[in-house]
Structure 1
Amino acid sequence: MSDLAQENTIHRYQNGNLTPTGDLLVREVPLTIFLNDSELATLVCSPGAYKELATGFLLTEGLIQTADDIAEITLREDEGLLWVQTDRPVPQVENFLRRQLASCCGKGRSGLYFVNDAAQLQPVNSPARFTAGDILAAARQLEENARLFRTTGGVHSAALAAGGRLLVMYEDIGRHNAVDKVLGHCLWQRLPVQDKALVLSGRVSSEILIKAVRAGLPAVVSRSAPTALTVELARDLNICLIGFARGERFNVYSGRERVVL
């Protein structure tokens, strides 16, 4: 954990007094990603798992589909630079990260999409179902394993779960980064996700949901809340969306048929 957080001296106010004390602060570093020699994006992230972060980012933004699309990865960690070479051209790079209002899944309702999402998102086709006990067990394990959050209070958590058990988990200063690291890990390990759930500590935004759809995940479970647009997208894209999974309760916003009591 020493590379993820650093000790600092602060002054803590309590009962009318300011007292010097030690405190652990999370570290953040920039990572600039180049795709086929073109600069694509700079992500500000927690140190480590750079290959997983970059490939998960490319996967969930629709720029690659499998690990086989990647010919080579080069990392200069001390400079915060990472190059990804693919075996095929990626024509959408020029429009990358522009947003537009696009018709949502052909239903005439506008939704906020990345340009490279607008024509490509399809409903997730999976028969997967999840028991209420497994959903709560996964959320509970996410909280128990969030060691960096407990010591710093400055990161988000994301994990992949099956049968109430976490298979892989990452903590990062960014919610999106934590998800990308999980899905990048799955990509490299060729771990199927079509029958598993993405478990999160923070708010579920529409962009997080789109990442899950890109990866083919049938369920997203969070200890926090989704946005209204996220719920609309989840219903259109056949995602089981669960929020406020804490203790012995949770809310089902979409995909009630996937939840087994």
Structure 2
Amino acid sequence: MAIPVQAVEIVRIGPNAPETKPDLVVSEEPLEIRLGHGPVDNRQQFSLSVTMRTPGNDEALCLGFLYTEGIINAMDEVISVKYCEDLGRNEGTENLMRVELKPFVEIDNEQFKRNFYTTSSCGVCGKASIDAIKVSCEALSSTPIQMGKEVLFSLPDRLRASQNVFKHTGGLHAAGLFDVHGELIVHHEDVGRHNALDKLIGSGLIKGSLPFSNSILVLSGRISFELVQKALRAGIQIIAAVGAPSSLAVNLAEEFGMTLVGFLKTDRFNIYTGKERVMV
């Protein structure tokens, strides 16, 4: 079983003498995602991506990534998702995962001729342009949800309280899905903010609970363009984050009518787009 933390020995420096102590750091390992596709008599495979992630929930991570990249649209397009062995390499089998797609799913090999490397801090590094990363996002639900400011004020603490690994390491991002009353539905942690969201969306895909049109997404960090795009794919109407949004994130949210809340604290926040969904 994957271990999300690693034991280390540190030297703690303070006002007194240096002190050697045991500590925990978050695990970070590469995950290679391979795609199997094509007709039954002519199956093909290629390496789609390598992402630096915290081990655990890798099936959800792979499916969420494929869904938010627009490669798949439903679970009925997937045959299997499982770890695979690759003789001749040193990586453990838990760092190689193959997703088999059903024969009717069409894949344009030219589109994925260049493998892209996804770092834990930037999910779109290596992609040539905004046009290359913009996937098809449907319009949000015509029935808008609303959330009171007091509920929003409570969400950072509620998300933090759910972060079990963060409590021990302090080195993880989190993505949490809440209902309009502030009750936590599901959350995921990862060293990469985009991975945490892919795991959350992938778990919804597995459970058949997409779209998340009646829920609010809470992020432990900043709001990037890619995170807005992923949330749009999942039908999310409101994103609230403890950090700031980027200009591209604001522009994309405005284009699709999404609500963006940034700098969310226990007593204040900023509304960047979609203020009609926040009751103040």
Fold in common (TM above 0.5): yes
Name 1:46's counterpart in structure 2. 54
Query: What is the rounded CA distance, in whole Å, between the counterparts of 1:197 and 1:96 in structure 2?
Result: 33
Name 1:124's counterpart in structure 2. 140
Q: 2:226 aligns with which of 207, 210, 226?
A: 207
Name 1:144's counterpart in structure 2. 161
CA contact (8 A) 1:52 1:180 kept: yes
CA contact (8 A) 2:2 2:56 kept: no
Name 1:254's counterpart in structure 2. 273
Q: 1:195 aligns with which of 214, 221, 228?
A: 214
Code of the residue aligned with 2:239 in structure 1: it is V
After TM superposition, the score normalised by the length of structure 2 is: 0.82
Q: Aligned-pair distance for 1:196?
A: 1.1
Q: Does 2:175 align with 1:158?
A: yes
Q: 1:176 aligns with which of 194, 215, 219?
A: 194
| Structure 2, unpaired ranges of 5+ | 37-44, 86-91, 117-125
Q: Aligned-pair distance for 1:2?
A: 8.8
After TM superposition, which residue ranges in structure 1, 4 or more long, deviate above 6 angstroms? none
Q: How does 1:7-86 map to 2 (within 5 A)?
A: 7-15=7-15, 17-36=17-36, 37-76=45-84, 78-79=92-93, 80-86=95-101
Q: Aligned-pair distance for 1:151?
A: 1.5
CA contact (8 A) 2:214 2:236 kept: yes
Query: What is the rounded CA distance, in whole Å, between the counterparts of 2:151 and 2:65 in structure 1?
Result: 28
Higher strand share: 1
After TM superposition, the score normalised by the length of structure 1 is: 0.88
CA contact (8 A) 1:235 1:255 kept: yes
Code of the residue aligned with 1:207 in structure 2: it is E
Query: What is the rounded CA distance, in whole Å, between the counterparts of 1:100 and 1:122 in structure 2?
Result: 24
Query: What is the rounded CA distance, in whole Å, between the counterparts of 2:133 and 2:113 in structure 1?
Result: 10
Paired positions, count: 249
Code of the residue aligned with 1:3 in structure 2: it is I
Name 2:127's counterpart in structure 1. 99
User: What RMSD in Å do the two structures reach over aligned CA positions?
Assistant: 2.1
CA contact (8 A) 1:33 1:81 kept: yes
Between stretches 213-222 and 180-189, larger displacement belongs to: 213-222
| Structure 1, unpaired ranges of 5+ | 102-111
Query: What is the rounded CA distance, in whole Å, between the counterparts of 2:33 and 2:2 in structure 1?
Result: 25
Q: Give % identity.
A: 33
